[in-house]
Amino acid sequence: MKKKFLDLAKQPLANSFLHNIKKKNLKREYFYNLSVSFDKKNHQVSLTKHVNPKMQYTNLYAHRASQSQTMRKFFQDIALKLQRKFKPKLSMEIGSNDGVFLKNFNKKNIIAVEPCINLAKITKLQGYKTYSKFWTKKLAKNIVKSHQKLDLIFSANTLSHIPNLKETFDAISISLSKDGILVIEDPYIGTVIKSNSYDQFYDEHVYVFSLLSISKTVSLSNLRLFDSEPITTHGGSMRYYICKVESKYKPTKRLNYFINKELKQKLNKFSTYQNFSQRVKKSKKDLIKLLTSLKKKKKKIIVYGATYKSTTILNYCNLGSKYFDYAIDTTPNKQGKFTPGKHIPIISPQKGFNDSVDYAFLGAWNFKKEIFKKEINFIKRGGKFITHVPKVRII
């Protein structure tokens, strides 16, 4: 049974950037109550109530996975590693976004599944077989019928977005070959708890998985975990290697190591999440206090990266244009728009990241390394970054 442990207030959809902030438009802005629960039975951490996916994954979906150099390199590395190690004949990616992973495969050897029409168009134009549909058992059966069973299914930052995990993993089970493998990666609850990164919770992250929860969930679809690997993307994720129950793969030592680590971290106990919730409340207080004191000193503060994650922070802490002059973001289709809920204007870094900026709040804190390298001149002239991870502080 699900038990609520965290309340993150009224939130807009993280992806719902506004074209204008005329009264009529603001009246139509959709808000829902964001709260997070823990299920003792399967150790799953999930949103208490999820939003209808048809509202989220539309033709206007803004996120482009290939925007960051870190991510392009990261997806190239994993695509090559998986092909070298597992030698799949036919592969598939669920949630292929703008093709940042696919493009490292021969077009004949990989299939893309992407429900957002604007994104599916990109990979179709590049010549990849792309199904512009939600991932379901029906689609899995169609794919197996039209092609063959799959030796590798890859899915990054997607399965945790799908409310119906039983249907999702059943569909995967249908389409995997006998020794085919499923590799998924998603933000990791162990890191969220450790880093106090509560902004991993927003409408699209229906689940934030652990090994304990994934293990139980996939077992209901004749699948099992055989390996796992922590990765640094999205501020701390886990990569899960999954196969059919009767497959040749044996559980690895490192899988056992990380499962034991989760038990030590008490990710199976409700009290862990209650304590986390107290730390989140403190983080909110600290951030408001810091920003208020800087504004009293007439400092110019901006948001660096109009990320989906930052939607949670801005709306939970009630931080709008009183604190931030604007947000900067490299994604062209976020520029010229306004952030969901708090309506902070978004402009390009070329326009907005100039000498007038005193402080930049890291909305894209998960790209801190890449950003600090790029913004060396800002740092040299005394510009400062602010983050809330793992604690509210000026860097």
Q: Which residues form the interface with ligand TMP (CB under 6 A)?
A: 63, 67-68, 305-308, 329-331, 334, 364, 366-367, 370-371, 374
Residue 43 or 63: which CB sits closer to ligand TMP?
Answer: 63
Residue 98 or 170: which CB sits closer to ligand TMP?
Answer: 98
Residue 90 or 119: which CB sits closer to ligand TMP?
Answer: 119
Contacts of 358 by beta carbon, 8 Å cutoff, 6+ apart: 294, 299, 300, 301, 383, 384
Residue 170 or 199: which CB sits closer to ligand TMP?
Answer: 199
Nearest residue to 383 via CA among 361, 367, 360? 360
d(CA 279, CA 288) in angstroms, rounded, equals 14
Alpha-carbon Rg for the chain, nearest whole angstrom, is: 21
Residue 133 or 300: which CB sits closer to ligand TMP?
Answer: 300
Residue 274 or 350: which CB sits closer to ligand TMP?
Answer: 350
222: amino acid identity, one letter: N
Exposure string for 128-150, b = 16+ CB within 10 A, e = fewer: bbbbbebbbbebbeebeeeeeeb
Residue 151 is given by DSSP the state: E
Sign of dihedral through CA atoms 165, 200, 115, 24? positive
d(CA 373, CA 375) in angstroms, rounded, equals 6
Largest CA distance in the chain: 66
Contacts of 199 by beta carbon, 8 Å cutoff, 6+ apart: 307, 309, 310, 312, 313, 388
Q: How far is the CB of 233 from ligand TMP (least distance, A)?
A: 9
Q: How far is the CB of 308 from ligand TMP (least distance, A)?
A: 5
Q: How far is the CB of 154 from ligand TMP (least distance, A)?
A: 18
Q: How far is the CB of 174 from ligand TMP (least distance, A)?
A: 30
Sign of dihedral through CA atoms 15, 70, 385, 374? negative
d(CA 326, CA 306) in angstroms, rounded, equals 10
Residue 325 or 370: which CB sits closer to ligand TMP?
Answer: 370
Q: How far is the CB of 252 from ligand TMP (least distance, A)?
A: 29
Contacts of 170 by beta carbon, 8 Å cutoff, 6+ apart: 137, 221
User: CA-based angle 340:52:15, to the nearest 5?
Assistant: 25
Q: How far is the CB of 34 from ligand TMP (least distance, A)?
A: 17
Q: How far is the CB of 158 from ligand TMP (least distance, A)?
A: 13
Q: How far is the CB of 374 from ligand TMP (least distance, A)?
A: 6
Residue 112 or 327: which CB sits closer to ligand TMP?
Answer: 327
